Structure 1
């Protein structure tokens, strides 16, 4: 195999697996580990990957920090699929938390149009507005300091009320998930701390997110994959990510 062919295949393997090890590549291509290290250096200089100790990983993109008004218009068909899946697992008489998430706004609309009898606790202004006139739904607002970009409440006062509950299910939004280091991220620190408190107060925590968020990161880590029970998603990720999630005992819905 020519060097250029090997470099091309290394890129393909990385796109599929998300990370590579020098030792495994050396065995796969029947070349020395020094040869593979040189290949990885070339590919890093070309912007295809980031070298790590013993291998390489994909260069992950930073998610755009849109405010909630802008995000409502993005990926609506995918978010609708996720909201419908989440709606299907909510049972009568449950107490649930709907976190700051545009997908959860769609989920609230589905609840508003249903006969399900549930208690909804939320820190999202629009969800409060959607559910406020529904007789079958008991609505609890967390209160707290209003985050004007997110149009919801975050911070210490919000967390104080959250900590007094034990939610049957919580539905949590995220800017990105790195399956390889297991981190779940958002942009706003107060939002992240509040999300962490919601997870800690929940019997089961569900991450609601589009599949493409496996390739993006926010800049604040608020949880790891070990902290959640299930990811509700629009379509399945690649096989390597599925394997990591299975090993972490995380269900995909």
Structure 2
């Protein structure tokens, strides 16, 4: 394999996992660890990554703003894994909130097929559709002003409806999580304000997000780590990330 091909493969792995290690790359490409360190230094100098002890992490990026059908095609396996973890947290006869999130659409489908007796409150039209089949689930839609880009309801009238409830659990989506400044973000201000209301009305709030969102940011901050109980993700984050989350007593599931 040419050096250029190896570097591209390193970047591909960073885009998928958010991190790489010198040891794993050395074994994968059958080259010395010094060779990999040189590759990482070169990539860091070009602004593609940030070197860490024993490897490198993806530099923080601004989250992409895609429509729901497009987002449903991205990281599907990871989202299915997260949805299963969320499903296992839900107990019979609980009242839960499913926020605007493509992962939550998959969670809704699991609930619909399980016939689990719960009440689901949501502000996302795709989730209502997923739960519309005959089952034991009581479905409540917030209503409000429809954001056609998000396929969901956001804003003051939606928030007024949410404030009337007390949810056992809420599963909330996010554009990104910044460990360094203790912020959880999204890209739409009305969506962010609605998420705030959901968190305030929930006994337990869980973020549902792929691991790579630890390296992404949205422009609007809607919560900090003290606002959530846990993060449901597809794979364990870097040790330095886990240590920060441990300080806030956040469960990584």
The answer to whether the aligner puts 1:171 opposite 2:185 as a matched pair is no
Question: Mapping of 1:13-92 within 5 angstroms?
Answer: 47=47, 59-92=59-92
Aligned length: 207
Post-superposition shift, 1:179? Answer: 1.2
Matching residue of 1:38: none
The 2-side partners of 1:110 and 1:123 are apart by: 18
Post-superposition shift, 1:115? Answer: 2.5
Post-superposition shift, 1:58? Answer: 8.0
Measured at CA, do residues 187 and 48 of structure 1 come closer, stay the same or move farther in structure 2, by a change above 3 Å?
Answer: same
The 1-side partners of 2:47 and 2:231 are apart by: 31
Show CA shifts across 1:63-87 (max 9, x none). Answer: 1111212101100000000000000
TM-score normalised to structure 1 length: 0.78
The 2-side partners of 1:85 and 1:47 are apart by: 35
Structure 2 unaligned spans of 5+: 1-18, 21-42, 51-56
Question: Mapping of 1:232-243 within 5 angstroms?
Answer: 232-243=232-243
The 2-side partners of 1:244 and 1:78 are apart by: 23
Show CA shifts across 1:50-104 (max 9, x none). Answer: 9xxxxxx984111111121210110000000000000001000000000000000
Matching residue of 1:140: 140
Answer whether contact 2:96 2:119 (CA < 8 A) is retained: yes
Deviates more, 1:66-75 or 1:228-237: 66-75
The 2-side partners of 1:83 and 1:106 are apart by: 6
Structure 1 unaligned spans of 5+: 1-14, 17-42, 51-56
Question: Who wins on radius of gyration, i.e. which is larger?
Answer: 1
TM-score normalised to structure 2 length: 0.78
Show CA shifts across 1:194-237 (max 9, x none). Answer: 00100000000000000000000011111111110000010001
Measured at CA, do residues 129 and 65 of structure 1 come closer, stay the same or move farther in structure 2, by a change above 3 Å?
Answer: same
Q: Which runs of 4+ in 1 moved over 3 A?
A: 43-50
RMSD: 2.0
Matching residue of 1:149: 149
The answer to whether the aligner puts 1:188 opposite 2:188 as a matched pair is yes
Matching residue of 1:121: 121
The 2-side partners of 1:134 and 1:102 are apart by: 22
